[in-house]
Structure formats: structure tokens, C-alpha cells
Amino acid sequence: MIETKVKLTIDNKEVEANPGQTILQVASSLGIKIPTLCHDPRLKPFGACRVCLVEVEKAKNLVTACSAEVQEGMVVKTDTSRVINARKFVLELILSDHPLDCMTCDKCGECALQDLAYEYGARDNRFFKAPQKGIAPDPNTMILRDYDKCILCGRCVRICDEVEQAEALDFINRGFDTVIGPAYGDTLLGTTCEFCGQCVSTCPVGSLREKQAEGKGRIWNLEKVKTVCAYCGVGCTLFLNVSKKTGQLVKVTSQVGTVPNNGNLCIKGRFGYDFVHHPDRLTQPLIRKNGQLVEATWEEALTLVAKKFTEIKKRHGSQSLACVGSARCTNEENYLMMKFSRSALGTHSVDQCART
């Protein structure tokens, strides 16, 4: 059965939409930008931040574009003076309890609140009171929670519930005392948190950040290199954030809309990269001599390995050999391992932890 299209007008443009679509979705398809803070396309509409307010003809009040579904004959205006003034006032309220330390914040340059404050000229704030909540004490090595920067958009709570289904976060207390965190003020280590970093990925401000990347560079200091995660068989799309200054891997991110993971990552994909620059990582081949591992040249090491493989193959046959790949190698390196095992060793006994 073919669904009847809904006809409406947005900013004097007559359009057709599918039943159930929101004003925000239809406006976005037309290239009309409606600002949001609490919206994430991976999540159900929430309408918490009120920044996406628009004017609908015959409606008594302004409506939230992220949650209001289109109706037949609806006339929507997204840039009237009433709408702009309302958005600016909402931003003023949000900024009334937000630290003004953008110059030293790691999120500077990719903070949605900072961008909107600039766009709407929200400089002076008659309600401002410096927040005093501080950073949540949490011994985990991955996720930093800064209560002062939280705007209570609820995105971290919802992605933990709706996408990850870990239910590790929620709203605590009321009014200016409201914070988001584990129940009873517990640490993340004491909850069902899987440390996937989904909460960090959806946070529009600097309230949730990667501890490993703290102070190592902001967005303009980093180059994003697109690649594929090798930790399992899903093949999630990753973006390696590499420092332009040091050339070191600072953090791993993903983007909503990329396949197959749509911006979602697990703990290994997002945080399992510290081995890259770890001081204990082997950078020189080792050969056992007189019961001790000593450094050797690549030529010595490869000659010894080739000799041992040849001896085993002659004595026991090709099927006595097998190769196991590592998820910490690149996909290209694992491919070469597979070709080596089949072409050089003559065995099809190949395995890798990413097969599951």
C-alpha cells in the first residue's frame, strides 16, 4: 500500500513529506538548517534543549522541530524574528550555568553550543552564575565527565539506553543541582558501563571527553585518517585522529551515517589504540640465544624463521603449519599473512580473531 504524502510549506517552499517525518527531517532534506543540541539521528526525538523552536501557523506557541511531526497543510517558518529571539533566549539560559573557558577547552572548534552562541550573538548573559560542580572523580582511564560543561541535553543517557542498552547513566537531583551520571553518584567502574564511548561520541559540548586525548590537540590540530577497524568481523569505519605536530595517534572517532556502524563503536574500536605508541611495544626483532632473548637485525630474524619453517615443512608436511593473524595489525598486513601461508607455506590453516 502506497502511503499518501503530506503536503506542507516550509519557509515559503511547498514540499511533500512522508507521514511520521518531523519538521527537522523535512527541513534538513531541503537544506534548511535548524539548530539543535539534544538531537542525534541515532536517537528518538527528545525536545529537551528547545533550540530547534520554529513557528507554525495557527499554533499557539513555538514548537520543537525535532519532535513535531508534519501535518497536512502545515505552514512552517524557521527564521522569523520571534523564532530567532526565542532561540537566543534559550541559549542564554543554557549558558547561564556553563563555564566560559572556551579558550582552554579541548572541545573548542567542534562544540555545538559554542557555534550557536557565536551564530546568535549570545554574548552578554544576565543570568550567568559560574558553575561549581567540577569534574567527577572517576578512576577509569577512558571517559572524563565534566559536570560544569553539561547542558543536560540527555543525549548520553538516551544513547546508553536506546543504542547500547547498558543503562549506566541517568539524571540525578533537580534544578541547578541536576547532573548526569551513575546512580547514587557511583563511578562508571561500578555500573553496567561497557566503556564503548557512545556517550562521548554524542555529547555536543565538552562535558564528556576521552581521557587519553586530553590536552593533545583540538580539531584543527588533528588530521582525520579514514580506515576500517580490524578488531572483529563487523568492519566498522574508524577515523584515526592524528596530531599534525607530533604525528601520533591522539584518539579514534567515527561519524554518524558511515557504514556499517553509523558512528557507533565498541570499547576496543574507540579506546583500544594505546598499544600504538606504548613504550613496551617491540620495535626490534628478538632471537633467543643461550636461553635469552636478544636484539637482532631483520635479516637475521627472517633468515631464522625461514629456516625453521622449511625444516618443519620437510619433516611434517605443509599441514603441520598454521598462521594466526592479529587484530592489531592492519587489514593489508593480515592479507599478506594469508597469502604467505597459502602460497609460501602451502597451508590453508589460517585464523584470526576478527573472524567472529
User: Which domains, and CATH codes, for the chain?
Assistant: 6-79 (3.10.20.740), 102-213 (3.30.70.20), 219-271 (2.20.25.90), 286-355 (no CATH)
Q: Which residues of 187-229 form beta strands (DSSP E)? A: 208-210, 222-228
Give pLDDT, residue 154: 97
Mean pLDDT computed over every residue of the chain: 93
Instruction: Select the more confidently predicted residue: 130 or 103.
Output: 103
Nearest CA to 123 out of 100, 107, 150, 157 is that of 100
pLDDT for position 15 = 94
Confidence of residue 128 (pLDDT cuts 50, 70, 90): confident
Q: What is the pLDDT of residue 1?
A: 53
- Give strand pairing partners of 228: 237
CA distances from 21 to 16, 277, 324 (A): 11, 46, 49
Is the pLDDT confidence value at 33 over 60? yes
Give residue 127's pLDDT: 81
Nearest one of 208, 212, 57, 237 to 147, comparing CA atoms: 208
**What pLDDT does residue 2 have?**
62
CA distance 307 to 269: 37
Cα 206 from chain centroid? 13
Q: What is the pTM of this model?
A: 0.85
Q: Is pLDDT above 70 for 326?
A: yes
What confidence score (pLDDT) does residue 83 get? 97
Q: For residue 271, give the DSSP letter.
A: H
pLDDT in tens, 231-251: 887 889 999 999 999 999 999
Residues β-bridged to residue 66 = none
User: What's the pLDDT at 132?
Assistant: 83
Mean pLDDT of 186-191: 94
Cα(266)–Cα(261) distance, rounded to whole angstroms?
A: 10
pLDDT category at 227 given cuts 50, 70, 90 is: very high
